[in-house]
Structures are given as structure tokens and as C-alpha cells.
Structure 1
Amino acid sequence: MDYDPIKDRMGRFVARHPLLQRLFYGVLNMLFLRAWYVRRDVRRLLQRYPVTEPVRVLDAGTGFGQYAYFVAKNFPNAHVDAVDVKDIYLQRARAFVEKTPVGPQIDFRHDDLTDLQAEGPYDLIMSVDVMEHIADDRAVFGHFARVLRPGGHVIINTPSDQGGSDVQSENDESFIGEHVRDGYNLEALEDKLRAAGLAPVVSRYTYGPYGATAWRWLIKRPMQWLGATWASLVVLPLYYIVALPIGLWLNARDVAHENETGTGVIVIAQKPKN
């Protein structure tokens, strides 16, 4: 059972009304542990800038657009270029934000990260669960270094090679069907960023024992049920009455815990000022 077709079908449904889209963003931010880490780190980085100072952000592989929306909503001094290769994602996200107060702060554009046309310079680049979809990652990191302002940062969030994409062994098939790699070795990812001229300043494993359990409870199991039959939507509310409090507690524990290993990694790298 593939995760991505279910995700795309949900995207089509919530695009019917802005209220559904806003609710969808809220659910994604609540259930997906990666959003807990990424939003925390984005806040820490962008809060360094005075509110009167314009900030430019590149959302590299915006997908549903929830992180571009998060930045624009919480940082009125930020302008976001949200790029993706999937035009339908861009159309839906653009249609949503145009009906919100943050609409002028976000530009949605078709762009291929391996041949990035965006010029920059950017103060922050976000790449959230994107690099596992791209084979030529070295080209992407080179473009990130090119368009970053000296002193600017890039956040890379991606599955790790410690069971990322919910792969448990070499013989297991990935739960996520569109990935070109199951995950990154943390040190290898740091080395690729350094080779591009970016200096890692924060590197950590995510989805440790707590987060991996939450993923199975909050995401994988419901997705498997939906993959089997959409009639399971009837029972999912009852399931989440029990699973949601436990899963959110597990997510909170993962964020507070220093994981020695995990099925996800997040690296913040900086372009040297000199």
C-alpha cells in the first residue's frame, strides 16, 4: 500500500474550501512530528531578525504549502518563494493563500531544485521531506549554497537510513512509494552539505523510539486502513479519541529527548559569512 496516492486524494478534497485547507494544515502540523521540529527551528532562526527587517525565505519543495503559510502567518516581515515541480500542488496552495491575509507574502512558482532558477539571495531555505525524492542531491545543495545570503541558513529534514520511509530491513518495501532513497546517513548528509560550501551547525536524529511509535499510531496505521477502504473514515474518529492523546505525548517526548538514533534527521547548515 502506497502512502502518496492517499495523501494526494486528501489534498484534492481539502482544496474545495479554504476552511478545509486551514484545518488540514492544522492536522498536518499536529500529527506529523517533522512539523514540530521544523516549526521550532524556523521560529528560532527567523526570530533573530528585527521585525522591521525584510526576510526572504525559499520553501524548496513546498508540497501542500503548509510551511510557507506558517512562515508568512507568523512573520509579517517575511516573503516566501514557494517552489515545486508539481503544478497541481502549486495551484491549490496558491488558490488558498490568495483568500487569506498572507497572500501577498507568498509567491508560488514551478521550479526544479536540480536546475533551480530562483535567484535569491535568501535568508532561510526550508527543505522538508524533499531530498529523499531527488537523486541528484549534490546539485540541489549546490544551488542552495548559490542562492543563500552569506550568513543565511538551510534546514534539511528528511528520513534517515536507520529505518526511514518506515523501512525496517533491507528486504522490506518502503511504506512511501515515491522515494529514490530510503533515507540519509547523518554524517553523509553533513559531508554533502560541506562539499556544497554549507557548514552544518545543528544535526540531530528525529523519530527516535518515542516518535517512531507515534508515527505508527498516528499516521501509518490509519493510512493502511484508508488504503484498504475509505469506509474506515467512519471509525477513524473513534480511533483517534484513544490514539491522539498518546501519540501527541510521544511526539512531545521525542522533541524533548536527545535521540541517539532515529528514523529521521534534521540538519541546519549555514553559508559562511566570509
Structure 2
Amino acid sequence: MDREQISRIAHADHPIKAPLDDGSVRRLLEHGVFRADARVLDLGCGTAEWLLRALETHPRLHAEGVDISEDALAQAGRAASRLGVRERLVLHHRSAADFAPAEPFDLVLSVGATHAFGGLLPTLAAARRLLAPGGRVLIGEGFWDREPSRAAVEMLGEFTDLATTVDRVVADGWTPVDGHVSTRRELDDYEWSCWGSLASWALDRPADPDAAEALETASARRSEWLHVYRDTFGFVSLVLRRTSDR
């Protein structure tokens, strides 16, 4: 099974690919979309769940999503058609780092996708170039809630603590106007859902040639979460404005 197939199955019951529940997603979008006719861009949109929710809520909103996964974009297009918002959604099959639109956006999102640009600050630099005057950025990033083990760092990458993460953002010329730190329940629900969905898919298809691999992957990922990073990893989502816009 390739990584994309595993991700699609794992997120079947948790379409937001980050540890956020529906209420948190709704509140962050309410603070990010500050005008009814906003232009919204998601860098690394996947199946465009954030954009679909914004489009449903704001009938004059225009959205664009960028992703390297053709399969995820196809899913996004089908979902948009079912919701009746397809004519207001443009999907780009390309690297987010290479995206160069003709017009700027009022809100730029990148939640759980900063790896596409090489980290938090490079993602913010990319967003700055795409943002209209007075616009906002909604970004989601991991942080260390406690001192991590070497295994956790090797598995998840280099993060800092929450305060240092926000300090780096502020020093880079941004002002947080809203934010959300994922709760223990959101973090746990996300992991249980992902690896439970993948395990259930395998158990429901014992004759499928991929079933054994899917079940093994679900077990391994669940074990890594419980033994390596559950007690140290956190996730923060920030709604930002450029400080120079004040």
C-alpha cells in the first residue's frame, strides 16, 4: 500500500487531517474569514475539507486549493459537486511551493502541511507573498508540550515548545489574532480515529491482499503514538495578521 492510500483510509472518519474537532475548525474559520466575499487559499489542501466548510458557510466566498495528490483533488472535486459549491472552488494539481496565482488572497491556510515548505517560517514566508493587504493566515503546527525523547524527535521532526513557537512567529512579523491549542481529547481522538479506521478496513476485508499490511501499519502507528510521542506532542493553530498591516 502506498502512503496516499493508507492516509485516505485512515482519515475516512476524521477528514480534517489534524487533531482538531468540528467546533475548533468552525471557530478558527470564523476568525480567519473576515469578509463574506473572501478569496481563500489552502496550501497543501488534500481533500479540501477546510475549503469545503468555508464554501458551505459563505455563499459568496471563492476558494482555491493546491496539492500534489491527484487522487485527493479528485475527491475534493466530487465532494464540492455534491455540496453544490464546485463552481466556486478551483483546484490546482501542483506543488504548493511553486504556486503563483494572478491575484492575492484574503485568507491563506496551511494546517499540518508546513513540511511542504520546509517548516513553519518558510511556510509563513510563502503565505506572505500570496496575501492581500489586511489578509490573514491560518496555520497549524506541532510543538513539544514536554521535553521529547530522541525517538520522538527522530519520528516527528524538530519542534520547539509552544511559547517559543509563538515567539518565532511574532519575531517574523506576525501578530496572532486568534489561536487554538488542541486538547488532549482532540489529540487522542485523532489518533484513535486514524489507526482505528485503518484497522477496521483491514478486518472488514480479510481476503484483500492489502489487509495484512494495513492491519500491521495500524498496529505499528498506534504503538508509536502511545509509546513514543503521546505524552510530549502538541498542536497549535494560529490565525495571524501581518504586524506591518496595523
The TM-score with structure 1 as length reference comes to 0.65
Work out whether 1:207 is the aligned partner of 2:194: no
The answer on whether the counterparts of 2:174 and 2:241 sit within 8 Å (CA) in structure 1 is: yes
Decide whether aligned partners of structure 1 residues 171 and 45 sit closer, same or farther in structure 2, where only a CA change above 3 A counts: closer
| Aligned equivalent of 1:170, options 146, 150, 160 | 150
Cα distance between partner residues in 2 of 1:188 and 1:173: 17
Cα distance between partner residues in 1 of 2:154 and 2:199: 17
- Give the 3-state SS of the residue equivalent to 2:28 in structure 1: helix
Decide whether aligned partners of structure 1 residues 125 and 184 sit closer, same or farther in structure 2, where only a CA change above 3 A counts: farther
Work out whether 1:79 is the aligned partner of 2:66: no
The ranges of structure 1 where at least 4 consecutive aligned residues each deviate by more than 4 angstroms after the TM superposition are: 2-5, 29-33, 172-175
> Deviation per CA, 1:137-169, whole angstroms, max 9, x where unpaired?
433211211221222111111222237xxx963
Superposed, which structure 2 residues align to 1:33-44 within 5 Å?
A: 33-36=19-22, 37-44=24-31
| Aligned equivalent of 2:104, options 121, 128, 143 | 121
**AA aligned opposite 1:214:** D
The answer for the alignment partner of 2:90 in structure 1 is 107
Tell me the number of residue pairs that the alignment of Structure 1 and Structure 2 aligns: 219
| Aligned equivalent of 1:60, options 43, 50, 55 | 43
Cα distance between partner residues in 1 of 2:75 and 2:198: 25
Which ranges of structure 2 fall in alignment gaps of 5 or more residues? 207-231
**AA aligned opposite 2:150:** E
> Deviation per CA, 1:70-90, whole angstroms, max 9, x where unpaired?
111111111001111223322
CA RMSD of aligned residues (A): 3.6
Alpha-carbon distance, 1:33 to partner = 4.2
- Give the 3-state SS of the residue equivalent to 1:135 in structure 2: coil
The answer on whether the counterparts of 1:57 and 1:122 sit within 8 Å (CA) in structure 2 is: yes
Between 1:105-114 and 1:191-200, the stretch displaced more is 191-200
Cα distance between partner residues in 2 of 1:65 and 1:151: 24
Cα distance between partner residues in 1 of 2:205 and 2:31: 37
- Give the 3-state SS of the residue equivalent to 2:140 in structure 1: strand
Cα distance between partner residues in 1 of 2:54 and 2:180: 22
Cα distance between partner residues in 1 of 2:190 and 2:10: 18
- Give the 3-state SS of the residue equivalent to 1:263 in structure 2: strand
The answer on whether the counterparts of 1:80 and 1:106 sit within 8 Å (CA) in structure 2 is: yes
The answer for the alignment partner of 2:203 in structure 1 is 231
Cα distance between partner residues in 1 of 2:102 and 2:167: 25
Q: Percentage identity across aligned positions?
A: 19
The answer for the alignment partner of 2:193 in structure 1 is 218
Decide whether aligned partners of structure 1 residues 153 and 96 sit closer, same or farther in structure 2, where only a CA change above 3 A counts: same
The answer on whether the counterparts of 1:149 and 1:271 sit within 8 Å (CA) in structure 2 is: no
- Give the 3-state SS of the residue equivalent to 1:160 in structure 2: strand
Cα distance between partner residues in 1 of 2:238 and 2:73: 26
The TM-score with structure 2 as length reference comes to 0.71
Decide whether aligned partners of structure 1 residues 72 and 145 sit closer, same or farther in structure 2, where only a CA change above 3 A counts: same
The answer on whether the counterparts of 1:148 and 1:271 sit within 8 Å (CA) in structure 2 is: no
The answer for the alignment partner of 1:144 in structure 2 is 127
Alpha-carbon distance, 1:62 to partner = 0.6
| Aligned equivalent of 1:28, options 2, 5, 14 | 14
| Aligned equivalent of 1:131, options 93, 101, 114 | 114
**AA aligned opposite 1:202:** D
